Amino acid sequence: MKIGGRGLPPEPLEVLSTALGPQRAGAVEAAGEEGPVWAEAAAARLERLPPLARPMARMAISRYARERGVTTVTPELMDEYRARMAF
CATH code: domain of residue 84? 1.10.8.550
- Position 64 in a domain: yes
Quick one: which of 33, 13, 10 has its CA closest to 21? 13
- Position 11 in a domain: no
**pLDDT at 36 (0 to 100):** 95
- Position 24 in a domain: no
Which pLDDT band, with edges at 50, 70 and 90, does 25 fall under?
Answer: very low
Domain count within the chain:
1
Handedness of CA 10, 15, 17, 21 (dihedral sign): positive
Quick one: which of 83, 30, 36, 86 has its CA closest to 62? 36
Higher pLDDT, 53 or 34: 53
Is the pLDDT at 47 greater than 70, yes or no? Answer: yes
**pLDDT at 15 (0 to 100):** 59
What are 37's strand-pairing partners? 72
- Domain, as residue range, for 69: 35-87
